[in-house]
A = this chain, B = another copy of it.
Amino acid sequence: MDSNRILKIGLFGFGCVGQGLYDILQRQPNFPAQIVKICVKDPLKERSLPADRFTFDAQELLNDDSLDILVEAISDAHDAYDIVTLALRQGKRVVTANKKMVAHHLEKLLQLQAEYGGVLLYEAAVAGGIPIVRTVEEYFGQEPVSRISGILNGSSNYILSQIFKEQKPYSEALQEAQDKGFAELDPWLDVSGADSRHKLCILAAHAFGRVLAPEEVPFIGINALAKADWEFAKRRGAVIKLVASLHTTEEGKLVPLVLPTLVNSIDDLYTVEQEFNGIVVEGAYAGAQLFKGRGAGGHPTGAAVLSDITGLLKGYQYHYQKLHEQAGVAELDTDFELEVYVRTENAALLGALSLTHIKLLQRQGETINLVGTIKLGALLKYQERLRETGSLVMATSVHFATQEKKIASPELAEAI
């Protein structure tokens, strides 16, 4: 610790994460840092603390030189970016929980730290209470990582568990996730896979030494799932999970994906249920490791913020070793092929996807189901149209291997 005095924390936001942190610090009276100012946006919202604990002026915190650490825990990514960059320009030590902001602006955030000497940590931005950012940064900092596959969004995982285990309809399960506080303010972020994509981008920087832009990651959400897809999964003896993954090919290129995925009982992610998160990290030497824990909620996320504050007190910062040594992967392998299940009513789109190795082709009314092989590039190119047309692309395995490549398959055009 820097000294014996109690360090002063300025907190932005008093939602789930902010209140979680506040409550934790209340229970840790000997912790050498305490929240002295809280900035919130809405003066009219009812708060669990007296009104005089709050300010509505961000500048009041940003201009207060007596504050040692700023914690940004608001949900709006634009406002978060403004607050964090203004703080970093003053060389401040900052903790953020905003994954969308970090994922979209990592390059800039790194540059500001280098230029002004500030420090930014963001353990709470990925997988809530699981210390995955620090572990990937520190433990796997020297070790080549071949694969990360994770269930990184607690809300969508909860919904999938409720649909599969409790046979609940999607809308009811979504409402429950919101009622229980697992969901983002904008639930589209959860169920579309966009939130998982943000987290994947953050992990890419630490594990693979690559600043990955969200736009480079194709994502399909669980909001695209229909009853037929669940039946397909059941016939395969699998469950459906929303899996975010990064892996390197033999040529050292990177493959990022966020897709509903068939997960079998022998896969580590199979055991990650309800609102839990789980991440498999496969290192060249350590082998595959599973990290599983609570990915959402005030206390787990607050605990992650607390660990960052503790890190700052000890002078800790991320070194981004793989990034700085340019040892990381640079290119995406847009030619990478993976086996997927596709369901769509749009035959034209299906043709555009350039699927190969087609099997299990079925047509019911307007709906076409098939299993085939797709290239990463095609997924990137057509993901928006897949979303627009309510189509689904689902990986048939967490291992993203193209299985049974040699099965003779009819030409797609002919088959339809």
Chain B residues, CB < 8 A from A135: 131, 135
Residues of A in contact, count (CB < 8 Å): 44
| A286, CB-defined interface residue at 8 Å | yes
| A290, CB-defined interface residue at 8 Å | yes
CB pair A303–B283 under 8 Å, yes or no, is yes
A-B contact pairs, 20 of them (CB 8 A): A28-B142, A30-B325, A30-B327, A31-B142, A129-B283, A129-B289, A130-B289, A131-B139, A135-B135, A143-B307, A284-B299, A285-B302, A286-B293, A287-B293, A287-B300, A289-B291, A289-B293, A290-B290, A290-B292, A291-B292
Q: A30-B327, A310-B141, A314-B319 are in contact. Are A286 and B294 (CB under 8 A)?
A: yes
CB pair A139–B299 under 8 Å, yes or no, is no
CB pair B142–A138 under 8 Å, yes or no, is no
A300 to B282, CA, bound (A): 11
Q: A290-B290, A293-B286, A319-B314 are in contact. Are A307 and B271 (CB under 8 A)?
A: no
Specify how many copies of this chain sit in the oligomer. 2
Chain B residues, CB < 8 A from A130: 286, 289
CB pair A299–B325 under 8 Å, yes or no, is no
CB pair B143–A287 under 8 Å, yes or no, is no
Listed in ascending order, the chain A residues whose CB lies under 8 Å from chain B are: 20, 24, 27-28, 30-31, 129-131, 134-135, 138-139, 141-143, 268, 271, 283-294, 297, 299-300, 302-304, 306-307, 310-311, 314, 319, 325, 327
Chain B residues, CB < 8 A from A286: 129-130, 293-294, 299-300, 303-304
A310 to B143, CA, bound (A): 10
What's the nearest-Cβ distance from chain B to residue A152, in Å? Answer: 15
Chain B residues, CB < 8 A from A292: 268, 289-292
Chain B residues, CB < 8 A from A314: 319
A327 to B297, CA, bound (A): 26
Q: A131-B135, A139-B131 are in contact. Are A285 and B306 (CB under 8 A)?
A: yes
Chain B residues, CB < 8 A from A24: 285
Chain B residues, CB < 8 A from A293: 286-290
Chain B residues, CB < 8 A from A31: 142
CB pair B129–A306 under 8 Å, yes or no, is no
Q: Which residue of B lies closest to A298 (CB)?
A: B285
Q: Which residue of B lies closest to A282 (CB)?
A: B293
Chain B residues, CB < 8 A from A143: 303, 306-307
